[in-house]
Amino acid sequence: HFTVQYGDDIAGAAKQHARPEKSKPFAYGTAGFRMNADLLDSVTFTVGILAALRSRKLQGKTIGVMITASHNPARDNGVKIVDPYGDMLEQSWEKHATELANTPTGEIKQAYERLAREVFKSENREEAHVIIARDTRPSGKGLVKALTDALEAMGAKYIDYGVLTTPILHYLTRATNTQNDSHPYGEISEEGYYKKLAAGWKTAMQYKKPEGSLTVDCANGVGADALKKFLKYMPAEDDESGGIKINVVNGRTDDPSVLNEKAGADYVKTGQRAPESFDGKPFERWCSYDGDADRIIYYFTETGNVFRMLDGDRIATLAASFIGNIVEKAGLADKIQIAVVQTAYANGASTKYIEERLKLKVECTPTGVKHLHHVASRYDIGVYFEANGHGTVLFSQNALRQIRKADPQSPAQLEALTTLQALTEFINQTVGDALSDMLLVEVILAHQSGDGEHSIAKWFTTYTDLPNRLLRVEVADKNSFTTVPDTAERKLQTPEGMQGKLDELVAKYTSGRCFVRASGTENAVRVYGEAASKHEVDNLLQSVEVMIERGEAANKVAQSS
């Protein structure tokens, strides 16, 4: 038995952030806790306790806490913990977060002390360090107060960085913890992030000028503020070396009610349509960020107003093919292994293209960047993207070493190495990042342009997507939808018998594939399907929706009788 400090302070402070007695159980989900902001005060307080505890457990390393509900409507909010190297909270700690969040306020001291004994093993008097940021949601400020009350009760030191994009908070967490390393990640400031990205861009774009302009729909979220600030660090628009014209639209962060409204990456991807304010001319490049700027989707129209979307799968294939190419040109193909990580939402045509054309390994994980990131980090270069536009490219220590020590034998090799080196600089190594991913796409398209064809159109024609659809179905209890372990969420375990019925439906369609899973960020289930034709996929998804609704109705009857 050893002494655990701060228990009484926590019990005292918790009274100001009491857990509502009748609330449903809270769970640390796909991206931390996420729900209606009114329910989040007590949860955020307990996240503060856990963040400080985690910092102490890791010898005082700095832990990040981000308050955001990203793509959700403005009334929601969320809170998630970022580990020292900028990746998501280690999964074995998620259960501690869930347990603390569900502890009745009167028992919080005991629950905290029990947990501290379990994780510390012996007395721990380390300092605790936490950094905080939030998106533009009005509820964010109050939640930061709940968080800092907990941090103060825990005797933790903290910095509140105010309103930032999620990826910038991840960047700052890593930069803070690597400042004394031989290769620090970057300057510990928001400005440092912009400078690092712009410097990488300039190197990668030496002697290149992007074709035309790019318009960015910022979903009226924090990405708009970040992008406007970032543009000040970029070369002038008319600069022959990397100058680019970027238009910012849907950048209203003063009115919370418009956040993610008929705009943003989720709106575009889910509905396979442009944001409402779209007025692009044929072949003009557009992209959409989501509410906290960690996802991006590209699109354009062809003559005749045909809408063409380039989602996360397309960014993954573009990046994997380009990087594979320059690794080879740099003479490093036998030293650096590249793999692509996707989820079940990846279009079957993209997976086929990566395996058969690019001849690269593909891994499939459950939804949530935390899962993809983990698997991608096992490779020298791990390209990971969810179809919804959330992803990045990771370079291992081995890859970085090989790139640094390579000795170019020709001007072509030197160019390939310089570009590769620049990519390692501006691609966010901590998490999916709309701004950094946008630069990646723009660099690649600029390198591939110049033959008279629109680079975005050429990108679109590399393979043909299988017609697909994503549905969101509201159900009484999304937790009654569970999936079989180790199937990357592709098979339902419960409701009992539903997977069998789903298999029967899918078998009726050419190249049919469909799965159902509970969302980890919204109170709904998601249904994804693809088939050989649009007509077939529409039909398939309609039948699946009816099947779910019948199941719901039968449940209701069973419960009331």
Q: Which is nearer to ligand G16, 19 or 526 (CB)?
A: 526
Smallest separation (angstroms) from ligand G16 to the CB of 345: 8
3-state secondary structure of 115: helix
Residues in 502-521 at the binding interface with ligand G16, rule: CB under 6 A: 519-521
Q: What is the C-alpha to C-alpha distance for residues 156 and 101, in angstroms, rounded to an integer?
A: 19
- How do 525-530 and 468-473 pair as beta strands? antiparallel
Binding of ligand G16 at residue 139 (CB under 6 A)?
Answer: no
Binding of ligand G16 at residue 41 (CB under 6 A)?
Answer: no
**Cβ atoms within 10 Å, residue 141:** 12
String of DSSP letters for 152-220: HHTT-EEEEEEE--HHHHHHHHHHHHTTTSSS--S-SSHHHHHHHHHHHHHHHTTT---SS-EEEE-TT
Q: Is 294 annotated as a binding residue?
A: yes
Q: How many residues does the chain have?
A: 561
Smallest separation (angstroms) from ligand G16 to the CB of 521: 4
Residues in 333-392 at the binding interface with ligand G16, rule: CB under 6 A: 367-369, 386, 388, 390
Q: Is 520 annotated as a binding residue?
A: yes
Q: What is the C-alpha to C-alpha distance for residues 267 and 439, in angstroms, rounded to an integer?
A: 22
Interface pattern 248-287 for ligand G16 (x via CB under 6 A): ----------------------------------------
Smallest separation (angstroms) from ligand G16 to the CB of 76: 10
Residues in 66-85 at the binding interface with ligand G16, rule: CB under 6 A: 70-71
Q: What is the C-alpha to C-alpha distance for residues 286 and 450, in angstroms, rounded to an integer?
A: 19
Residues in 160-199 at the binding interface with ligand G16, rule: CB under 6 A: none
Q: Which is nearer to ligand G16, 149 or 433 (CB)?
A: 433
Residue 154: both structure tokens together: 């825990």
321 flagged as catalytic: no
Question: Residues 17, 30, 42, 208: which binds ligand G16 (CB under 6 A)?
Answer: 30
Q: What is the C-alpha to C-alpha distance for residues 432 and 384, in angstroms, rounded to an integer?
A: 9
Q: Is 301 annotated as a binding residue?
A: no
Among candidate residues 203, 235, 210, 185, the one with its CA nearest the CA of residue 422: 203
At residue 81, φ and ψ (nearest 5 deg) are -105, 140
Q: Which is nearer to ligand G16, 217 or 522 (CB)?
A: 522
Cα-based distances in Å from 236 to 241, 244, 382, 445, 524: 9, 7, 33, 19, 45
Smallest separation (angstroms) from ligand G16 to the CB of 334: 33
Residue 178: both structure tokens together: 């690597």
Smallest separation (angstroms) from ligand G16 to the CB of 390: 5
Q: Which is nearer to ligand G16, 178 or 523 (CB)?
A: 523
Q: Is 347 annotated as a binding residue?
A: no
- Residue of 42, 70, 436, 449 marked active site: 70
Q: Which is nearer to ligand G16, 268 or 403 (CB)?
A: 268
Question: Residues 137, 208, 295, 374: which binds ligand G16 (CB under 6 A)?
Answer: 295
Q: Contact, 291 vs 72, CB < 8 A? A: yes
At residue 384, φ and ψ (nearest 5 deg) are -130, 135
Sorted by sequence, the CB contacts under 8 Å of residue 143 that are 6+ apart come out as: 37, 40, 41, 44, 67, 77, 79, 134
Active site positions, annotated: 70
Binding site, annotated residues for Mg(2+): 70, 290, 292, 294
Binding site, annotated residues: 70, 290, 292, 294, 386-388, 517-521, 526
Binding site, annotated residues for substrate: 386-388, 517-521, 526
Which parts of this chain interact with ligand G16 (CB under 6 A)? 30-31, 70-71, 290, 294-295, 367-369, 386, 388, 390, 519-522, 526
